[in-house]
Amino acid sequence: MARLVMKFGGTSVANIERIRNVALHVKREVEAGNDVAVVVSAMSGKTNELVAWCREAAPLYDPREYDAVVASGELVTAGLLAITLQGMGLAARSWQGWQIPVLTDSAHSAARITGIDGSRLIEGFGRGEVAVIAGFQGLHEASGRVTTLGRGGSDTSAVAVAAAIGADRCDIYTDVDGVYTTDPRIVSKARRLDRVSFEEMLEMASLGAKVLQVRSVEVAMVHGVRTYVRSSFDDPANPGSGTLICDEEEILEQQVVTGIAYSRDEAQITLRRVADKPGVAADIFVPLAEANINVDMIIQVVSGDNAYTDITFTVPGADYERARKILDERRDSLGLTEIEGATDVVKVSAIGVGMRSHAGVAARAFRALADKGINIRAITTSEIKFSVLIDAAYTELAVRTLHTLYGLDKAEG
């Protein structure tokens, strides 16, 4: 008998029919003798609707009340699933985040989990009870207020609950049957991966792959929670195995490159003829950091006389206008002669722990992209990945080129 957490996203619980399908997946695991906790998202589209209502009510809304509103979507799903399970003859009860409790900090709408007491859930297992938990939410104990964890927060809820109750595994059910070598919508030869290391999945999630929320992978890696990505649309009586996210040691044969990711939410900013002196970089990037604008790729080119430098960097596309405004306000103090920007760019990345022991992996990509006439605007590298910034028009060509280059295409036939 195992103890497991099953998490179902918004598309998996979009209506009553799909909730019944979810209940069949849960029933299968219960009948196999497992202790089961289920974490659910709001029904598809409901969170967006609740957010829109908050904005309509008041453009400058109280974030505490915002959380009270948007957390309600998961409560509805949890109650409906518990009712459905009971109708199938299973003992089940719904749990709100504060009832467990899932404790968080006070950062409303983007709270981080500080602790979970899993004892009440474990007591319920002793009574043969399925715990149906509203994901995405917690409690700031000092204020007694409900908090939410940010978009995709139900993934984090599920992995954190799994760690708290000592679960043998955490199954994340979504609308795809696992983690692929790249987006199958772009590359028809993309393959489903049987296993991916925590580190690789963390890079994939942060570099554009939408399968899991980045923070959920961080929590899984820190606590060693073996996590499966599976499809809720598989036959509940005969589901696929999905993709296991696990320690690198569990993967016997590791390819040099495991996957290709891309992110369209990118913007490039170039500052021309910045004075090349100590403190200038801090004057540029500290205000951006204080505005919670994440800077990724940074390239600095110093002039021949060492008096000036050009600095190019990327920010999320959604933050581009804010970043330009902050820099424009500091144009005189920074001595900026020109600020250039581009939003028609894409970041394409190759990820693989095998890069640690192989030289020239990135160089092969640079040559292959050049042969296709693709210009590279910026490059960043780390131990297990490299990223290139290119014109958005070449996204699909670049992804397909790298996918084939590193032998990730599935065999024909």
Q: Please state, in angstroms and rounded to a whole number, the distance separating the CA atoms of residues 269 and 251.
A: 40
The answer to whether the annotation marks 211 as part of a ligand binding site is yes
Strands 227-231 and 169-174: parallel
Please report, for residues 193, 400, 411, the alpha-carbon distance to residue 408 in angstroms, rounded to integers and kept in the order given: 10, 10, 9
Tell whether residue 174 is among the known ligand binding residues: yes
Picking from 410, 363, 371, 364, the residue whose alpha carbon sits closest to that of residue 394 is: 371
352 is in an annotated binding site: no
- Alpha carbons 407 and 257: distance in angstroms, whole number: 9
User: In which residue are the tokens 């006070």 written?
Assistant: 106
Please give the single-letter amino acid code of residue 358.
H
Rounded to an integer, what distance in angstroms lies between the CA atom of residue 362 and that of residue 370? Answer: 12
66 assigned ligand-binding residue: no
Residue 362 parent element (H or E): helix 361-371
9 labelled as ligand-binding?
Answer: yes
Neighbour-count burial of 235, counting CB atoms closer than 10 A to its CB (0-12 exposed, 13-18 middle, 19+ buried): exposed
Q: Is 176 annotated as a binding residue?
A: no
Q: Is 248 annotated as a binding residue?
A: no
Identify any residues that bridge with 40 across adjacent strands, giving them in sequence order: 8, 134
47 annotated as ligand-binding: yes
Residue 294 burial class via C-beta count within 10 angstroms: exposed 0-12, middle 13-18, buried 19 and up = exposed
177 is in an annotated binding site: no
What is the chain's Cα-based Rg? 23
**Burial tier of 141 (Cβ tally within 10 Å: 0-12, 13-18, 19+):** middle
Beta bridge partners of 308: 275
> Residue 235 annotated as binding?
no
**Residue stretches of the annotated binding site for substrate:** 47, 74
**Residue stretches of the annotated binding site:** 7-10, 47, 74, 174-175, 180, 185, 210-211
**Residue stretches of the annotated binding site for ATP:** 7-10, 174-175, 180, 185, 210-211
